[in-house]
Amino acid sequence: MILHELISYEHLRLIWWVLLGVLLIGFAMTDGFDLGVGALLPFVARTDVERRVAINSIGPVWEGNQVWLILGGGAIFAAWPQLYAVSFSGFYLAMFAILMALILRPVGFKYRSKIDSARWRNGWDWALFIGGFVPSLIFGVAVGNVLQGVPFRLDDTMRIFYDGTFFGLLNPFALLCGVLSVCMLLTHGAAWLEVKTEGVVRDRARSIGSVTALLTLALFVLAGVWLYYGIDGYRFTSEIVRGGASNPHAKTVALAPLAWFANYQAAPWTLIAPVLGVLGALATFIAMRARGEVSALLCSNIAIFGVIATVGVSMFPFILPSSADPNVSLTVWDSSSSHLTLFIMLVATVIFLPLILAYTAFVYRVLWGKVDAKAIESGDGHAY
């Protein structure tokens, strides 16, 4: 038996669907609080020292956290090439906006203190705000559009034709998901600041985070109700071939009311995902009001896991439905790389992912502790 045949094609596809979810959730949990702190910066910190306290809370870790975004993009490129091709071409302007915003972050970190000028530093602080707010919003808008279906077509040679426009992405449901994403990551950033800072920065972060936690809960429930009553999902109308060649044309698909809720009826244990989203957001609010620093951050992580997992569970096995031609919607079973490619990637992941997790845990352990405003003023060991 050839080595890669030890794991069936069907199981490898399922494993990589789970791993993709793990990478996306890992990005939201780690780089998510970086984005949240950046978006909160003008509101939780009013003096230069206060802003430096907030920036130094994420300064040592933000670059490492972005590894999860790179891993997620790499996994999509290698494991789901058609998903990568369609999303990065169809969402080109949105991706460009995210890229430009993310570029503002390292530039802002490095340049804000180069000139001793209040105007100069204030300008770069707003650049850091853009670098946190814009990606948080656009990521959520993208998810909202995916749930509704993306207007793309594939011809017989698998060439991609995208029929949508940038402003077409800014529809009401997608904007709701975008605001949900912003509130969720603002809450996460506030929870991080509560752990890492003291005094007025911590108190302002707690006050804002309490509000955004409740907004996250309300918007998550509202999005679910909207999806239930107002948006049709996608379902197979032909036989599902789980281990066949990757060919999105080899099936038929139709829109159907409540299709995004079928998995919960077929497997009730999957309700764990939305329940964690709701309870995690509520628990984050309670923990913040009770001044529970670490518990608020843990509950925020649970909420993020629940919200993102809910999207994946609801859509499975679809990963990018097409509103222009539902029959070419991309699914777990017909848009992956080859059996051998998925196996080689899995072997590499089994070897290197634990190393990444161990190193990340070590870094957080070494860098744990609060940022001291007095040390910031004296320039003792703080880079930003």
DSSP letter string, 140-180: HHHHHHHHH-B-EEE-TT--EEE---TGGG--HHHHHHHHH
Q: Which residue, among 343, 319, 374, has the nearest Cα to 149 in the 3D structure?
A: 319
* Eight-class DSSP state of 256: E
What amino acid is encoded at 286 in this protein? I
Summarize pLDDT for 28-76 with one digit per residue, the tens: 999 899 999 999 999 998 888 889 889 988 888 888 888 888 888 888 8
- What mean pLDDT, rounded, does the chain reach? 90
Domain membership of residue 26 as a residue range: 3-378
Given this model, what pLDDT does residue 339 score? 92
Contact between residue 16 and residue 79 where contact means Cβ atoms under 8 Å apart:
yes
d(CA 29, CA 305): 8
Name residue 152's beta-bridge partners: 162
* pLDDT tier for residue 243 given thresholds of 50, 70 and 90: confident
84-88, 212-216, 348-352, 365-369: which is most confident: 212-216
User: What is the domain-level CATH number for residue 127?
Assistant: 1.20.1630.10
User: Measured in Å, how far apart are the chain's first and last C-alpha atoms?
Assistant: 57
* Banded pLDDT at 116 (limits 50, 70, 90): confident
DSSP 322: B
Residue 381 predicted with pLDDT over 60: no
What angle (nearest 5°) sits at the alpha carbon of residue 347, between those of residues 344 and 351? 140
Residue 383 lies in a domain: no
- Distance (Å, rounded) from C-alpha 7 to C-alpha 22? 20
* pLDDT-based confidence at residue 379 (cuts at 50, 70, 90): low
pLDDT tens figures, 164-192: 887 888 899 999 999 999 999 999 999 99
**255 lies in a domain?**
yes
Beta bridge partners of 144: none
Is 384 domain-assigned? no
The two tokens of residue 73 are: 């993009």
CA–CA dist 358, 47 (Å, integer): 37
Q: What are the start-end ranges of the E strands in the chain?
A: 152-154, 160-162, 233-236, 253-256, 318-320, 330-331
For the cut 80, the answer to whether the pLDDT of residue 383 exceeds it is no
Compute CA 313 distance to the chain's CA centroid, rounded to the nearest angstrom: 15
185: in domain? yes
Alpha-carbon span 333 to 306, nearest angstrom: 24
Residue 331, classed as helix, strand or coil, is strand
Is 43 a domain residue? yes
254 forms bridges with which residues in the sheet? Answer: 235
Q: Tell me, what's the pLDDT at 343?
A: 93
Is 42 a domain residue?
A: yes
Q: How far apart are CA 363 and CA 347, in angstroms?
A: 25
Residue 234: pLDDT above 90? yes
Determine what percent of the chain is predicted with pLDDT higher than 90.
60
Q: Sign of the C-alpha dihedral, residues 12, 140, 164, 314?
A: positive
Distances (CA, A) of 264 to 268, 278, 280, 311: 5, 16, 19, 12
Q: Is the pLDDT of residue 3 over 80?
A: no
> What is the tally of helices (H) and strands (E) in the chain?
14, 6
**Residue 371 DSSP label:** P
Does 356 score more than 90 pLDDT? no
CA–CA dist 300, 287 (Å, integer): 10
Q: What distance separates the 2 farthest-apart alpha carbons in the chain?
A: 69
**Is residue 266 over pLDDT 60?**
yes
CA-to-CA distance for 344 and 321, rounded, in angstroms? 27
The band of 133, judged by pLDDT with boundaries at 50, 70 and 90, is very high
- Number of domains making up the chain: 1
